[in-house]
Structure 1
């Protein structure tokens, strides 16, 4: 069984994963699930985000890390090579995903960090490409590749690679526009399994809620559902919302369609969209206008009220 799992992880970390993602992407496009939202600007942003980290950034960081570690801690190389695969898997899965849960959560709760993570939420649609749609600086500073590289050096290579492969599959399918978890909610006989599944890992229903542009419908919940591979962290830390429904709209309510280069490389490159959080001199957190207040103000023709509220997803 262990050998079988190792073989799967090696396949996914090789050509298996790109083939899987390509097949998923073709399926999403053939079903027309991106709709009219996939403009040229969004296509460039999604494709570069999808290609650059795994093909260039991650390999370079891993290579440099494995060259650097022997120079500073040579005595710890393969220190944990005696740990059985299954225990190594559990240790790494918890350490990796719990760390990322808090990375993710803090980027929603600390205004300065939000702008690094904003790119991941700006798309007005969901799809497999969303899993890697990130600001490159965010990816560089908060990448899990550092933890994986250290664990590989310490002798936990196989379980580390297996966790990476499994996590990538779960996260990608949670972002996918294909709502594969629907049958578990539709058929009563599957409800017990659904109850466990939606509390254990991220599913389209729970993670799509995190990407919703609003919380008004009781389905969207960008103030929680931070889990990446394991949704269990949200359950444990009180940030979970499980509705078994999907939002009608995605993205951020004040998205200006910032240029792809600004979304990828802020703060090095700035957006030209006036008032954007990514523009030169723009707000750390944009104040947005609540639709109901705006409507009332328009009808009353009064400018005395203050309709501004923080649209920051904290």
Structure 2
């Protein structure tokens, strides 16, 4: 598998879940996006896939040549399961921690855009601040692993990871009907503790924790939900929050897309905002 095949497969995954959003009417009934939302989501999706990820892979290769010139493809003989372990720890586990600390006051402005959507959909999968991805340790580590000889395994891993992440954000909750099948209960018990599902990830996007379903201070996993289980941030209910998004946007109005995307280069003019120096995370608590 090469890079072009990777992008093609990710596009097919997006298309497949997109079809289900429309076929199930979940997009029509729940996704009420503004032009501000659409601009942010299009620019960030294109920015990540066409600019940020290729840029990081390119820079990682240059750094590898500079710091370890004799190590290009030095690990290429490793078996696939070894590469899988290296990628899961080097990329997915570090992304868990990056995501987790991005809910702290210092880094929240770089991740806030992802939670400002008042709906769940494949369209918000890559909705984030530009610097959130540019600084993400896992992408840089993956770049060095490619330099060391990861090769096709990296592209296969990315497709699998994106399929899980896209599915977890989908307006159509693919896990919901499966919970109702008695014969699948043992399988779903394992699945929801292994990978991110719509139920566990929507809890993370919930606008409130008051109903016992929302858990925006946990459920940080991307590909593997196992990291939440391991590090005790998991909250599993098999239920879906009534509303997602941010309470401060309801109270004070949505932040402009450019401030969400390019903070700290651009600062919010909103009276109460985390997207300006000295701003704070809003909480009803």
With the length of structure 1 as denominator, give the TM-score of the two structures.
0.84
Query: Compared with structure 1, are the counterparts of its residues 12 and 126 closer, same or farther at alpha carbon in structure 2 (3 Å cutoff)?
Result: farther
Residue 127 (structure 2) pairs with residue 133 (structure 1): yes
Query: Compared with structure 1, are the counterparts of its residues 90 and 36 closer, same or farther at alpha carbon in structure 2 (3 Å cutoff)?
Result: closer
Residues 9 and 159 of structure 2 are in contact (CA less than 8 Å); yes or no, is this contact kept in structure 1? Answer: no
Residue 272 (structure 2) pairs with residue 278 (structure 1): no
Residues 205 and 245 of structure 1 are in contact (CA less than 8 Å); yes or no, is this contact kept in structure 2? Answer: yes
Aligned match of 2:92: 97
Residues 37 and 257 of structure 2 are in contact (CA less than 8 Å); yes or no, is this contact kept in structure 1? Answer: yes
Deviations 1:145-194 (A, max 9, x none): 21111001111122222221111111111111110001221111110001
Residues 212 and 247 of structure 1 are in contact (CA less than 8 Å); yes or no, is this contact kept in structure 2? Answer: yes
How far apart, CA to CA, are the structure 2 residues paired with 1:214 and 1:14?
A: 35
User: What secondary structure sits across from 1:80 in the alignment?
Assistant: coil
132-141 or 73-82, which deviates more: 73-82
Residue 231 (structure 2) pairs with residue 237 (structure 1): yes
39-48 or 138-147, which deviates more: 138-147
**Residues paired across the two proteins, number:** 280
Counterpart mapping for 1:235-274 below 5 A: 235-255=229-249, 256-274=253-271
Aligned match of 1:38: 33
Residue 199 (structure 2) pairs with residue 205 (structure 1): yes
Deviations 1:248-267 (A, max 9, x none): 10011112310000000011
> How far has the Cα of 1:143 moved from its partner?
5.3
Structure 2: give runs of 5+ residues left out of the alignment: none
Residues 61 and 143 of structure 2 are in contact (CA less than 8 Å); yes or no, is this contact kept in structure 1? Answer: yes
Query: Compared with structure 1, are the counterparts of its residues 12 and 242 closer, same or farther at alpha carbon in structure 2 (3 Å cutoff)?
Result: farther
How far apart, CA to CA, are the structure 1 residues paired with 2:143 and 2:42?
A: 25
How far apart, CA to CA, are the structure 2 residues paired with 1:153 and 1:223?
A: 35
How far apart, CA to CA, are the structure 2 residues paired with 1:262 and 1:10?
A: 31
How far apart, CA to CA, are the structure 1 residues paired with 2:95 and 2:185?
A: 29
> How far has the Cα of 1:90 moved from its partner?
2.4
Query: Compared with structure 1, are the counterparts of its residues 60 and 36 closer, same or farther at alpha carbon in structure 2 (3 Å cutoff)?
Result: closer
Query: Compared with structure 1, are the counterparts of its residues 111 and 61 closer, same or farther at alpha carbon in structure 2 (3 Å cutoff)?
Result: same
> How far has the Cα of 1:72 moved from its partner?
2.1
Aligned match of 2:45: 50
Residue 152 (structure 2) pairs with residue 158 (structure 1): yes
Deviations 1:187-222 (A, max 9, x none): 111100010000000000001100000111111110
Residue 12 (structure 2) pairs with residue 14 (structure 1): no
> How far has the Cα of 1:36 moved from its partner?
5.8
Aligned match of 1:168: 162
Aligned match of 2:220: 226
Deviations 1:101-126 (A, max 9, x none): 11111111x21111111111111111
**Larger RCO (CA within 8 A; separation ≥ 6):** 2
Query: Compared with structure 1, are the counterparts of its residues 241 and 36 closer, same or farther at alpha carbon in structure 2 (3 Å cutoff)?
Result: closer
What RMSD in Å do the two structures reach over aligned CA positions? 1.9
How far apart, CA to CA, are the structure 1 residues paired with 2:50 and 2:19?
A: 20
